[in-house]
Amino acid sequence: MKLTEEQIAETNSELSAQSVYRELKQSNDFIGFARCFIFSTEHHVARNSLWILTKATDAELAQLQGMFHELTALAMHTGDSAVRRLSLNIVLRLKMEEEDLRTDFLDFCLEHMMDVREFPGIQSLCLKLAFRMCQFYPELMGELKRTLEAMENEVSMKQEINPQETNRAYAFEMWMKSPMPMVTLTKTFDVTRLLKQSKRGGWKFTMLLCWCIGKAASRIKEFRMLPEGDKLYRYDQLAIDVIVKNRKGGINSCSIPYTDDLQQFNAEYLSRAQRVSASCESITIEDAMVIGTSAMVETELDSIVNQYSGVFNNPMVMWGKYRKGWFKTTLPISFQFHHTQMDGGDAASFLEELQRCINEGGR
């Protein structure tokens, strides 16, 4: 095929993905493309090739029917969540007959649809595939029903914990009663690479920055805990909250679940923001540790200090308009956090991690 791994690896935007799909459509060799790229050891190549294949029609994807078991094996054994989600998406669109039923794949789907640590998109795909497989046997459908009933009784993604059994015991005693427990740090970031990625790939700059915030926070364990009222909670999931202008001229908040899959995060970001703008109703995620954001891009700001209401203890990341220089573009970003949740050193580590994530971009 004319397409190379280098071309596939550099397919990082919807525009470039559609361009490769059109070339693939013209050759009509979807199975050749799949065999050439989706099993690549370079995860960018494997991920992007699967993403391109999701653009195909069901009739075009039918060429991959003979790879049904290879695709299920890829989904089960890959260590890349994006590859798993995209391969499951393709499997879901292929025909499934009784003879295609594999007990190891059914067990995989049942396990991952229940795992609260799994990304919602993968959980949903596993549930749909488990349902399709169980339809062939009444006893399996009964097992699926019992599994779903058990899920209702599973521990929530938000769980109260004893502060004395955590490394925040001293901070909990010191700062929960403080009239002003919030701390704000401001750091100037080099966002040159992120701005280039935004322009070249057709991504929204704010979306990319929000994804980097989630990625950096996911690497700092203190973001998994948050004080609320007089209690401390642990969370399994992170979410990023953005402010959206609605069609009436007002504003609403919109929470986006964090995933390390940039394409999936972007899809959630765009669809949720559009719904909020049209409905004028906020979208919140109650069981996630939500990181608030506020982008005041109308002007350059050196620092932002938010008010403390005593109700909203969540961390906040805030910024104004970025500043273009001759050789680099910078952006001062303010980070506000509750001292019970983390110390200054933890917050500084987060800011350093955020710069690394910005430098990495979508990698």
pLDDT per residue over 261-273, tens digit each? Answer: 888 899 899 999 9
Residues 143, 280, single domain; the answer is no
85: amino acid identity, one letter: R
pLDDT at 72: 96
Mean pLDDT of 327-337: 96
Q: How far apart are CA 45 and CA 36, in angstroms?
A: 10
Q: How far apart are CA 42 and CA 45, in angstroms?
A: 5
Instruction: Using alpha carbons, select from 226, 236, 217 the residue that is nearest to residue 163.
Output: 226
Q: How far apart are CA 212 and CA 175, in angstroms?
A: 29
Residues 209, 147, single domain; the answer is no
Instruction: Indicate whether 137 pLDDT > 80.
Output: yes
H or E element, residue 300 = none
Residues 341, 192, single domain; the answer is yes
Q: How far apart are CA 316 and CA 305, in angstroms?
A: 10
pLDDT at 229: 85
Residues 218, 131, single domain; the answer is no
**Cβ of 183: how many Cβ atoms within 10 Å?**
16
pLDDT at 152: 56
Q: Are strands 316-319 and 289-295 parallel, antiparallel or unpaired?
A: parallel
Asked if 317 and 332 touch (Cβ cutoff 8 Å), the reply is no
Asked if 87 and 74 touch (Cβ cutoff 8 Å), the reply is yes
Residues 191, 91, single domain; the answer is no
Residues 171, 300, single domain; the answer is yes
pLDDT tens digits along 145-158: 877 776 655 545 78
Residues 111, 147, single domain; the answer is yes
288, with CB counted inside 10 A (0-12, 13-18, 19+), is: buried
Instruction: Indicate whether 165 pLDDT > 70.
Output: yes
pLDDT at 150: 65
Residue with tokens 């039918």: 62
Q: How far apart are CA 49 and CA 22, in angstroms?
A: 13
Structural domain tally of the chain?
2
Q: Which residues pair with 317 in a beta bridge?
A: 293, 335
Instruction: Indicate whether 206 pLDDT > 80.
Output: yes
342, with CB counted inside 10 A (0-12, 13-18, 19+), is: buried
Last residue of a domain, one of 124, 152, 180: 152
Name the percent of the chain lying above pLDDT 70. 96
What is the DSSP secondary structure assignment for residue 55, as one 8-state letter?
A: T
pLDDT at 155: 46
132: amino acid identity, one letter: R
- How high does pLDDT run on average in the chain? 89
pLDDT at 120: 72
pLDDT tens digits along 65-84: 999 999 999 999 998 888 99
The number of residues making up the chain comes to 363
CATH number (domain holding residue 299)? 3.30.559.10
Highest mean pLDDT, choosing among 39-48, 91-100, 184-193, 299-308: 184-193
Q: What is this structure's pTM?
A: 0.64
Residues 174, 137, single domain; the answer is no
State the DSSP string of 211-277. Answer: HHHHHHHTT-GGGGEEEETTEEEEES-EEEEEEEE-TTS-EEEEEEE--S-HHHHHHHHHHHHHHHH
Asked if 212 and 194 touch (Cβ cutoff 8 Å), the reply is yes
Residue 246's domain spans which residues? Answer: 158-360
Residues 175, 115, single domain; the answer is no
Residues 194, 333, single domain; the answer is yes
Last residue of a domain, one of 97, 129, 152: 152
Residues 140, 80, single domain; the answer is yes
pLDDT tens digits along 36-61: 999 998 888 998 999 999 999 999 99
CA angle 237, 105, 30 (to 5 degrees): 95
Q: Which of 11-25, 204-218, 233-247 has the least mean pLDDT?
A: 11-25
Tokens of 178: 């403080």
pLDDT at 117: 64
Residues 99, 215, single domain; the answer is no
Q: How far apart are CA 19 and CA 216, in angstroms?
A: 32
Last residue of a domain, one of 100, 128, 152: 152
Q: Which of 93-97, 153-157, 168-172, 208-212 has the least mean pLDDT?
A: 153-157
Q: How far apart are CA 107 and CA 229, in angstroms?
A: 40
Tokens of 78: 């890959």
pLDDT tens digits along 298-323: 999 999 988 777 778 999 999 999 99
Using DSSP, state whether 190 is helix, strand or coil.
strand
pLDDT at 116: 65
pLDDT at 321: 96
Using DSSP, state whether 1 is helix, strand or coil.
coil
For the chain, the straight-line distance linking the first and the last C-alpha, in angstroms and rounded, comes to 26
H or E element, residue 324 = strand 323-324
Q: How far apart are CA 309 and CA 154, in angstroms?
A: 33
